[in-house]
Structure 1
Amino acid sequence: MLIGMPGAGKSTVGVVLAKVLGMNFIDSDILIQRQEGMLLKDIIEKKGLKGYLDIENQVNRDISVENTVIATGGSVIYCPEAMEHFRNIARIVYIKLSYNTIRKRLGNIKQRGVVLREGQTLLDLYCERCPLYEKYAHIIIDAEGLSVEELMDKIVKELAGK
C-alpha cells in the first residue's frame, strides 16, 4: 500500500509496481469518486473537509483485497480507522519527497481535490502530514530524483527485504 503527499507518484508507480509484481491495482481516490458519483474537489466543496474525510475513512477501511497494490489519497493518514486497517492487512510504503519537489509537481492543488483547511498553505500541509506518513509507514522510500522505474525498483527491493 502506498502513502505520501499529493504528487508523490503513488498512482503512477502503483500501476507499474502492480504489473511487475503480478498484482492487481486499486486507486482509493477513484473508489471514492465512483461511490460518491463526483470528483474529489466536488465532494470537498459539497460536503466539506470533515464530510470528505469521513467518506475517505469509510472507503479505505472497507477495502478488503489480497494480492493488490493500493494507492491512497494523500489525506488517508487523517483516517485512523482506515490506517489501522491497512497496517493490519498490508505493508505500508511511504513515498517521501522534498517540499520543493512536491510544490513543483503540483499544479492547481484545488483541482486535484487536495484537503486544505481554510488559510492552510501547501507548506503547512507538508509539515503537518510528513510525521503522520512516517508514523504509519512500515517502509519509507526516499524518492528524491528517482524516475518511476527507479522508484519502482527501490520499492520492490525494500518489499523483498534487500
Structure 2
Amino acid sequence: MYNYLLFIHILSAVTAIAAVICYPIIMSSARTVGQTKFALSLLEKTAILPKLGGTLLLLTGLAIGFQETYLFREQWYVASIVVFFIILVIFARLLPVGNKQQLKLLQQTQGDDLPEAYRLSRRRSALLEAVAILAVFVSILLMVFKP
C-alpha cells in the first residue's frame, strides 16, 4: 500500500508544482488587455490543477504519515505540511481573489493598454506567486533531503 500512496503522492506533487510554476510564466507573457484577459481566463480554467494535485498531495502525505507514525515526530515532515498550507492559502484563496480583481479592472478598460491599477494588482500577485514558488522549492528540499 505504501508504494501506491507514494506513487500518487509524487504524481500529485508534479501536477500541483507544474501549475504553480506555470502561473507566472503565463501572466508574464500577456502584454495587452486582450492577452491579459485570455491569460486570466486560462488560469481560471487551470486552477483545478493545484487544487486537485494539492488535495491529493495532502491526503496521500497524511496517509503515509498514518502508516509510518514516526513521521509525525520528524521536523521535516511537519515543516512540509506547514509549507504546504502556505502554498494552499496562496493558490486557493489569495491568487483567485487577485485574479478576479484584475479581470474586473480590465473589463472597465477602454483600449488595449494595461491600466496602472492592473499593473499594481499584478505586482502583488507576482509577489505571491514568487513566495509560492519559493515554498514549493523548500517543500521539495524537505521531502528529498529530509534534514
Tell me, yes or no, whether TM beats 0.5. no
TM-score w.r.t. structure 1 length? 0.30
Of Structure 1 and Structure 2, the greater strand share is in 1
TM-score w.r.t. structure 2 length? 0.32
Name which one, 1 or 2, has greater alpha-carbon Rg.
Answer: 2
Of Structure 1 and Structure 2, the greater helix share is in 2
